[in-house]
A and B are shown apart, each in its own frame.
Chain A
Amino acid sequence: MTAHLEALAYQPNWWPILTSAFMGNALIGGTIVALAAGLIGYFVVVRQTAFAAHALAHIGFPGATGAVLLGMPVAAGLGVFCVGGALVIGVLGKRAAEREVVTGTVLALASGLGLFFNSMATKSSSTVTNVLFGNLLAISHNQLVSFAILLVVLGLSVGIIYRPLLFSSVNAQVAEAKGVPVRVLSMMFMALLGLTVTMAVQAVGTLLLFALVVTPAATAIMLTPRPVMAMVTSTAISLSAVWLGLGASAMFNLPPSFPIVTIACAIWSAVWVINRRRRTAAQPSEKSTDASPTTSTRPASAAPGT
Chain B
Amino acid sequence: MSLSDVSAAPAALAFTDVRAVRGGRLIWSQANFTVPAGGIVAVIGPNGSGKTTLLHMVLGLVPAASGHLEVFGRPPGQANDSIGYVPQHYAESSGEAIRAADVVLLGLTGRRWAFGRSTAAQRRQVAQALAAVEASEIAGRRLSTLSGGQRQRIALAEALVAQPKLLILDEPLASLDLHSQRDIVALLARLHAELAVTILVVAHDLNPLLPILDSAIYLLDGHPHYAPIHDVVDEELLTHLYGTPIQVAHTPHGELYMQSTL
Contacts and interface: CB of A to CB of B under 8 A. Distances in A.
Interface string A102-134: 000000000000000000000000000000000
A175 B110 contact: yes
Interface in B142-184: 142, 145, 147-150, 155, 158-159, 168, 173-181, 183
Contacts of B258: 305-306
B115 A162 contact: yes
A71 interface: no
A1 interface: no
A161 B113 contact: yes
Given A291-B150, A304-B259, A171 B106 contact: yes
Interface stretch (A40-48, A50-58, A203-211): A40-48
Contacts of B205: 300, 302-303, 305-306
B59 interface: yes
A292 B94 contact: no
Interface stretch (A176-184, A241-249, A259-267): A176-184
Contacts, number: 164
Given A164-B111, A286-B145, A295-B147, A170 B98 contact: yes
Nearest to A168: B110
A302 B180 CA distance: 14
Contacts of B43: none
Nearest to B100: A225
A163 B113 CA distance: 6
Contact of A177 (B83, B115, B246): B83
Given A170-B98, A177-B80, A290 B90 contact: no
A302 B204 CA distance: 10
B115 A306 contact: no
Interface string A177-203: 111100000000000000000000000
Interface string A259-299: 00000000000000000000000000010011111111111
B221 interface: no
A230 interface: yes
B129 to A, nearest CB: 14
Contacts of A167: 106, 110-111
Output the residue of A48, A164, A170, A293 with the most chain B CB within 10 A: A170
A239 interface: no
A24 interface: no
B97 A45 contact: yes
A227 interface: yes
Interface string A150-181: 00000000011111101111110111111110
B194 interface: no
Nearest to A161: B113
B138 to A, nearest CB: 7
A176 B61 CA distance: 8
Contacts of A174: 85-87, 90, 107, 155, 158-159
A221 interface: yes
Contacts of A230: 97
B102 interface: yes
A66 B177 CA distance: 58
A306 B260 CA distance: 5
Contact of A295 (B114, B145, B148, B238): B148
Given A176-B61, A177-B61, A180-B111, A296 B80 contact: no
A180 B207 contact: no
Nearest to B251: A304
B225 to A, nearest CB: 19
B146 to A, nearest CB: 8
A290 B147 contact: yes
A142 interface: no
Contacts of A226: 99, 102
Contacts of A166: 106, 110
Contacts of B111: 163-164, 167, 175, 178-180
A133 to B, nearest CB: 30
A2 interface: no
Nearest to A167: B110
A189 to B, nearest CB: 14
* Residue of A96, A163, A293, A296 contacting most chain B CB atoms (<10 Å): A163
B85 A292 contact: no
A13 interface: no
A141 to B, nearest CB: 31
A177 B61 CA distance: 7
B114 A160 contact: yes
Contacts of B2: none
Contact of A292 (B89, B103, B183, B206): B183
Given A162-B114, A292-B177, A293-B147, 9 more contacts: A48-B93, A163-B109, A175-B106, A177-B83, A177-B168, A225-B99, A300-B175, A301-B177, A303-B181
19 contacts: A162-B115, A163-B109, A167-B110, A169-B94, A170-B106, A171-B90, A171-B106, A175-B111, A176-B59, A177-B87, A180-B110, A227-B97, A227-B102, A290-B147, A291-B183, A295-B177, A297-B175, A299-B174, A306-B260
The 3 closest A-B pairs by CB, nearest first: A167-B110, A177-B85, A173-B87
